Amino acid sequence: TNVSALITVPAGAAGQTYAFIVPTTADAKVEPNETFTVALTSGDPNASMPAGLATGTITNDDGTAVTVTDASATEGAAVSFTITLGADRSMPIDITATLADGTATLADTDYTNASGLITIPAGAVGQTYTFSIPTTADAKVEPNETFTVALTSSDPNVSVPAVPATGTITNDDSYAVSI
């Protein structure tokens, strides 16, 4: 919307500062900061006006939350985590998933390190996204094992869970007893 404002500068007021307000509209949409331009004009042929345009910035103040669920799978199958976006967003979100050993370890090849970037497309509110971590089938009789996945985002308008999600690898091996 175009907005006009009349600022009257009295004679002899050189060097003084004058301000005007450009009204903005609050919304709940998570979007990049937006800009607008201001051009100064004068009806007085003796007035000297600055050349060019001034730029104003509307800072986005809306955020969205990303959630991730705990997940489990039998060893040898993939542990599939589900991510959900809490609010609409007009641009994609980049989330980094980082895995950490628990009782399941990379050194013991219990699972494959698939840490990395997950991109959620713009406008994906309420949709779910799945990422899977492959596990290794073994012949060890052992308790169920766990690892965690932590989410981070460099976007200050995206909140991620403070507590990592847990992946559980369910043991499917047993002892054979013979007499």
Cα angle value 11/14/15 (rounded, 5°):
150
Q: Please tell me which residue, 145 or 157, carries the higher pLDDT value.
A: 145
* pLDDT one-digit tens code per residue, 36-92: 888 877 777 777 777 768 888 888 777 788 899 999 999 999 999 999 888 777 788
Q: Which of 148, 154, 161, 130 has its CA nearest to residue 65?
A: 161
Is the predicted pLDDT of residue 161 greater than 80, yes or no? yes
Is the predicted pLDDT of residue 10 greater than 90, yes or no? no
Is the predicted pLDDT of residue 112 greater than 90, yes or no? yes
Q: Quick one: pLDDT at residue 1? A: 64
Percentage of residues of the chain with pLDDT beyond 90 = 35
Parallel, antiparallel, or unpaired: how do β-strands 71-74 and 165-170 relate? parallel
Q: Which of 174, 34, 158 has its CA nearest to residue 95?
A: 158
Q: Quick one: pLDDT at residue 27? A: 78
Q: Please tell me which residue, 141 or 7, carries the higher pLDDT value.
A: 141
Q: Please tell me which residue, 96 or 44, carries the higher pLDDT value.
A: 96
User: How sure is the predictor about 173, in pLDDT bands with cuts at 50, 70 and 90?
Assistant: confident
Percentage of residues of the chain with pLDDT beyond 70 = 98
Helix (H) and strand (E) counts in the chain:
0, 11
Those residues whose C-beta lies under 8 Å from the C-beta of residue 59, and which sit 6 or more positions away, are 33
What is the chain's mean pLDDT, rounded?
A: 86
Q: Which of 31, 156, 30, 149 has its CA nearest to residue 83?
A: 149
